[in-house]
Amino acid sequence: MQDPNEDTEWNDALRRHGILPEKPKEAEVTEDDIVNLVEKTIHDRFKDTKPIEDMSLEELEEMEDEADERAMLEYRKQRLAELNAYQKASVFGDVREITAQDYVTEVNKAGEGVWVVLHLYKTGVPLCTLINQFISQLARKFPATKFIKSISTLCIQNYPDKNLPTIFVYYNGDLKKQWIGPFSFGGMNLKIDVLEWMLSEAGAVVTDLEEDPRKKHKIHDVMTSAIRQRPMDSDDDDDDD
């Protein structure tokens, strides 16, 4: 199993989200350590070759390509080992339906270090239906996070429909984040990657998304709107002629 104290980007991400404890100070790896390790790897790989100053440009390029390929293979092997260890620690993977009677067990007693995502919904509300579809997919993608859902009034008596959909995010039984009402989700324009990013910012999941997908969607919407307006602009030009 991957050492949780090892200095890796994956472990750092897990620590930021509270999934792994902070590593001991003595386990930190400095930039000098990394440089020395890279230099040692290159030296060991090419110690039997002729001196660099005697190599041709083609030989130097070949040596650089081989070193890059070897580094990528080692990194891929390490990442696979880390992901396998993470998956072994995953115990959920689906969305569980609960009622008020289940709340204490499923949320407050979910377990130490467990993130819980609770969706309050009602049938017949389109955005609730959409989010239920999304969290079903996200539950499979992030099986270390506990995804649950409940009909709003079965979980909280007289919960107002205007607050639907609602998502609560808990960690160690404490409320960490909440989104209440359709406007907090952007309405029916909500995309699954946007919801994933929102949950990641709250700490509930460790996403592989590199930036807020809403930026990408906004650019796409602007471009689509501009394309749709072009025929109208063309007709206006003809009228002017």
> In this predicted structure, what is the pLDDT of residue 227?
53
Residue 240 per-residue DSSP state: H
Is the whole-model pTM more than 0.75? Answer: no
**Gap between the Cα atoms of 112 and 120, Å rounded:** 23
Where b means 16+ CB within 10 Å and e means fewer, 57-93 reads eeeeeebeeeeeeeeeeeeeeeeeebeeebeeeeebe
> In this predicted structure, what is the pLDDT of residue 26?
46
Nearest to 116 by CA among 164, 141, 153, 149: 149
Upstream peptide bond of 182 is cis (omega within 30 degrees of 0): no
Report the residue count for the chain: 241
Nearest to 135 by CA among 90, 177, 198, 181: 198
User: The domain 96-202 belongs to what CATH superfamily?
Assistant: Glutaredoxin (3.40.30.10)
Q: What is the mean pLDDT of each run of 10 residues along the chain (241 residues)?
A: 60 65 55 65 62 67 71 71 60 92 93 94 97 97 95 95 98 95 96 96 92 77 52 52 48
At residue 169, the 3 state secondary structure works out as strand
> In this predicted structure, what is the pLDDT of residue 121?
98
**Gap between the Cα atoms of 29 and 27, Å rounded:** 6
> Which helix (DSSP H) or strand (DSSP E) does residue 97 occupy?
strand 95-97
Place of tokens 């239906």: 129
- Rounded alpha-carbon distances, angstroms, from residue 40 to 13, 27, 78: 27, 20, 19
